[in-house]
A and B are shown apart, each in its own frame.
Chain A
Amino acid sequence: KQEVTQIPAALSVPEGENLVLNCSFTDSAIYNLQWFRQDPGKGLTSLLLIQSSQREQTSGRLNASLDKSSGRSTLYIAASQPGDSATYLCAVSRNNAGNMLTFGGGTRLMVKP
């Protein structure tokens, strides 16, 4: 059974810092990995999708990498801003028709002005 773990569970940084969020998964037979942002009491906003054949994806100040064989992904946020404060979730999908996502517990990020 796939297990997804995110470290750290919470992170507080001053504005302007570059930071790295970590995601690990136990079964490397994934089809893709998706990073989401969740604001308190709100839905999930998709940030980046990395296919299993890819090594990284970039969107603005965000860069996500994937090392499928070692079961790890990182989300790099450059020049953090207070508006980046949210919970960041990673989720992996299996290589099958249902495309169910298995989620990690999230990293709660606070960027202080």
Chain B
Amino acid sequence: EPEVTQTPSHQVTQMGQEVILRCVPISNHLYFYWYRQILGQKVEFLVSFYNNEISEKSEIFDDQFSVERPDGSNFTLKIRSTKLEDSAMYFCASSEQGMNEQYFGPGTRLTVT
């Protein structure tokens, strides 16, 4: 069964460093998303992406964040200068159409020290 994959599973970085989280969405899906979950808190929406542009973004998704689909398979989230409060589990998701079921990857645990 097709699934969303994410790499790395765990990333440790120092405050101020740039990180890139990678995702491979399900191959025939057209809509891509990033969410995050700070330990013990709700899953929060960051951004949705379709047709090579951002469809919607939350207040969390400020100028420190960017997304890119560099090729036909990968979807990346970049955090330019990480802060301690960026420590969280980051989930990538994809859906076939905009209002269809979203399928989530296993997540990348980001730890900022």
Interface assignment of A66: CB less than 8 Å from any CB of chain B: no
Interface mask (A68-106 → B, CB under 8 Å = 1, otherwise 0):
000000000000000000000101010011111111111
- Complex alpha-carbon distance, A109 and B11, angstroms: 29
Q: A42-B106, A43-B105, A105-B42 are in contact. Are A98 and B48 (CB under 8 A)?
A: yes
CB distance from A94 to the nearest CB of B (A): 9
Q: Which of B30-68 contact A (CB under 8 A)?
A: 31, 33, 35, 42-45, 48, 50, 55-56, 58
Interface assignment of B75: CB less than 8 Å from any CB of chain A: no
Stretch at the interface among B12-20, B77-85, B94-102: B94-102
Q: Is the CB of A99 within 8 A of B101?
A: no
Q: Which of B98, B104, B107 contacts A46, CB < 8 Å?
A: B104
Taking CB atoms, residues of chain B closer than 8 Å to A101 are 33, 35, 43, 45, 102
Q: In this complex, which of A34, A101, A105, A106 has the most chain B Cβ atoms within 10 angstroms of its Cβ?
A: A101
Q: What is the size category of the interface that chain B forms with chain A?
A: 20 to 34
CB distance from B65 to the nearest CB of A (A): 15
Taking CB atoms, residues of chain A closer than 8 Å to B95 are 99
Taking CB atoms, residues of chain A closer than 8 Å to B99 are 31-32, 93, 99
With both beta carbons as reference points, the residue of chain A lying nearest to B44 in the complex is identified as A103
Q: Is the CB of A97 within 8 A of B103?
A: no
Q: Is the CB of B91 within 8 A of A44?
A: yes
- Complex alpha-carbon distance, A97 and B41, angstroms: 26
Binding site for A on B (CB under 8 A): 31, 33, 35, 42-45, 48, 50, 55-56, 58, 91, 93, 95, 98-107, 109
Beyond A31-B99, A43-B105, A99-B31, 8 additional contacts (C-beta under 8 Å) are A41-B109, A43-B91, A46-B104, A49-B101, A89-B43, A98-B55, A98-B56, A101-B102
9 closest cross-chain pairs (CB), A and B: A98-B56, A43-B106, A44-B104, A103-B43, A100-B45, A49-B101, A98-B55, A98-B48, A99-B98
Binding site for B on A (CB under 8 A): 31-32, 34, 36, 41-46, 49, 89, 91, 93, 96-106
